[in-house]
Amino acid sequence: MICLLLLTLPLLGNSVPVIQGKKGAKIVGGNEAKEGEWPWQVSLRAKFGGYWIHICGGSLIHPSWILTAAHCVESAQMDTSRYMIQLRQQNLYEDDELVPLEKIIIHPEYDHYMAGSDLALLKLQCPVQLTNTIQTITLPEVSQIFTPDMECWVTGWGNIKTGVHLPPPYTLRQVQVPLLDAQKCDEEYHVGAYTSSSVKIITDDMLCAGKPNVDSCQGDSGGPLVCKVGDSWKQAGVVSWGLGCGLPHRPGIYTRVTSYVDWINKYISPCSSANPARG
């Protein structure tokens, strides 16, 4: 288990396409999002060579708070000056209006080598003004169950396949992904692995989504997996890790938001906002 994560976490989190660049997973097998779709999507930027480069995705869950993956910011040692946030943007680096951070909160149980609790909260220095194109995503209740028959999408500016960066003009991409039953996903990850079938690779705080050639990839880390619940969208997962992108028997692994929503809600205050449907 540990060896597997040592191999896969760097893949999902640390690919930087120089002034085009980034750090996490990208959308494999998807297409370009339309202007205004997924208004909670954000780009997490870090400074490289004088430029603020995209390294991970994230979601706006409150006018003052961003939800992302812990492995996207763990090396910062809580130094907020090393990061900036770009709110919903169609093409990376076009008309940037970067927002500084006030605080970084990594889940206290997060362990890079085990991938559990791969969550971080980023507090913005000033609350953002919600508009038609900048909105928060609704978090689920602890009791919410996300099932394979639901419509679920993952979005981001990551690689289009393993080792292939998103080309200019770096337009936000989307792909509909099927959710997998946890037991089935664990069985898939044991195919061709050295880990004993008696040892769980996929733990209860993880969510699996994707199929061959349909996945998140490097550069999408920290971004949202959202599912349609009734007439609204709820965030089911946060892009966390995987082995390659869109490979057989290796669906994408997401931190399960329902496992940590109580922890998230300790820091954010209730926010009522429109949550427009896709399209």
Question: Which sequence positions are flagged as catalytic?
Answer: 71, 118, 221
**Spatial contact of 249 and 42, defined as CB atoms under 8 Å apart:** no
Count CB-CB contacts under 10 A for residue 13: 29
**Spatial contact of 174 and 38, defined as CB atoms under 8 Å apart:** yes
**Spatial contact of 206 and 240, defined as CB atoms under 8 Å apart:** yes
**Structure-token pair, residue 38:** 């997924």
Classify residue 115 as left (phi > 0), alpha (psi -120 to 50) or beta.
Answer: left
Q: Minimal CA–CA distance to 139: which of 236, 24, 248? A: 236
Sheet holding 206-209, edge to edge: 31-32, 173-176, 152-156, 224-229, 232-241, 252-256, 206-209, 179-180
d(CA 15, CA 54): 10
3-state secondary structure of 75: helix
Going from the C-alpha of 278 to that of each of 59, 66, 103, 176, 269, the distances in angstroms are: 15, 20, 31, 12, 25
